Amino acid sequence: MKTSLGLGLGLALASATPAQCLFTSVTNQPVGQSCNAASTGFCAVAAFPSFLLTDLDQTNCELEITVTAFEGCGATVPFRVLAIGFQPTFVPLPEFGFDCALQIVPVGVATTTSPSVTLSLPPNLPQLSFLAQGAALSSFPPGGADILVFTAPYAISLQ
């Protein structure tokens, strides 16, 4: 299941000419630290770093952003969250773990039960840059502790 979120966050550029996707590549670079619990309390595994993956669909002018999450030892991931913004920040979230923080000022937030969020990109725009940070809940069988992990913030650039 895909969740679609328009990137019309102040960027929706209506045009009378036919839409043309000018993006040909995407890069994503972590610009901070992720936050993961060292142990789930249920299974003795090393922390699984959560991160963002990007995939550009030039034909449909869409960007798919995947929030990875730990799914071993019987864990399921009931939901994931993706925040998108343009400015960095640092809001500590100690209730989720040491050094956990929201590290971008979100202007848009999507929640999904699938690993990916699909963004519709504005047409006729030659480049676009923004920040994104994800979070995922790994839920363990009875007796285990559920954990919420945060990705590092990522600088995402489309050219």
| 76 within some domain | yes
| Kind of pairing between the strands at 3-6 and 116-120 | parallel
> Among 32-46, 79-93, 128-142, whose mean pLDDT is lowest?
32-46
Q: CATH code at 131?
A: 2.60.40
pTM reported for the whole predicted model: 0.83
| 123 within some domain | yes
| 146 within some domain | yes
pLDDT of residue 7: 43
For the chain, what percent of residues have pLDDT higher than 70? Answer: 79
| 78 within some domain | yes
pLDDT digit string (tens) for 71-88?
777 888 999 999 999 999
| 15 within some domain | no
| Exposure class string for 84-120: b at 16+ Cβ within 10 A, else e | bbeeeeeeeeeebbeebbbbbebebebebeebbbbbe
Q: For 94, list phi and psi in degrees, rounded to 5.
A: -65, -20
Could you tell me the two tokens for 105? Answer: 């000022």
pLDDT digit string (tens) for 110-130?
999 999 999 999 988 899 999
- Expressed as residue numbers, the domain containing 99 is 3-8+20-158
pLDDT of residue 42: 54
Domain count, the chain: 1
| Mean pLDDT of the chain, nearest integer | 83
Q: What is the mean pLDDT of residues 91-120?
A: 93
